[in-house]
Amino acid sequence: MAKLMAILEQGYSLHEDGWTETLTGLNMLSNLINIMEENGDTFNAILMLRLVYISASYLAEQTFNKTVQLYINQNNYSINEDEKQNYSLRKVGISNAMKNWPKQLTGRGFDLGSGCLQSLKGITNKRNDIIHKLNDTSHYSNPSKIAAEIIYSTIEACKTIEKHFFPEKEFSYSDWLQTYPIRPSELYKKI
């Protein structure tokens, strides 16, 4: 019961925005997965893990979209009407946007083939399988470990995204992560 109360207390914090709310939800899910796994409820832990994939992808998309918008606004980057559809996440998709927009805007592309951004790509692909393929039958062993890897990798990817566009700036949510640290983990590896 004490574990459950600690999980719920984090949800009553004053949030900065949707990013901190989403991260709080991810941490709560991760803690619930741990409890379920400790109690032998692997089936429900796996169902919760699917929500971790979806929420983590959303967290990264929030960071990417917010960072790109801020970069465009701060650099007075003008986009003509014909180009506007090329800068709509809804039309382009997060994978294509992450592949193309950084280079178009800053002259330097993301390294999507290694590190946390490669992990994020795997998380996003798995999220797409979960959402778009109802018959996703991936084997999930050790859901609590996978959840920790997903959250850790996503946070590291969010930091990398911001640092790419604003190398001199501290990560926007550093203070939040000091107050509500995430579990240290390895980077996510594709299952």
Question: Tens of pLDDT along 26-69?
Answer: 999 999 999 999 999 988 999 899 999 999 999 999 999 999 98
Write down the pLDDT at residue 35: 95
Determine, yes or no, domain membership for 125: yes
- Mean of the per-residue pLDDT values for the chain? 85
Q: Please tell me what DSSP assigns to residue 113.
A: T
Determine, yes or no, domain membership for 184: no
Count structural domains, the chain: 1
Q: Which residues of the chain have pLDDT under 70?
A: 1-15, 79-91, 134-139, 191
Domain housing 155: 2-179
The burial of 157, by beta-carbon neighbours within 10 Å (0-12 exposed, 13-18 middle, 19 or more buried), is given as buried
Determine, yes or no, domain membership for 191: no
pTM recorded for the entire structure: 0.86
Write down the pLDDT at residue 77: 75
Determine, yes or no, domain membership for 150: yes
**How far is C-alpha 132 from the geometric centre of its chain's CA atoms?**
18
Determine, yes or no, domain membership for 186: no
The whole-angstrom separation of Cα 44 and Cα 36 is: 7
The burial of 112, by beta-carbon neighbours within 10 Å (0-12 exposed, 13-18 middle, 19 or more buried), is given as middle
Write down the pLDDT at residue 82: 66
Determine, yes or no, domain membership for 185: no
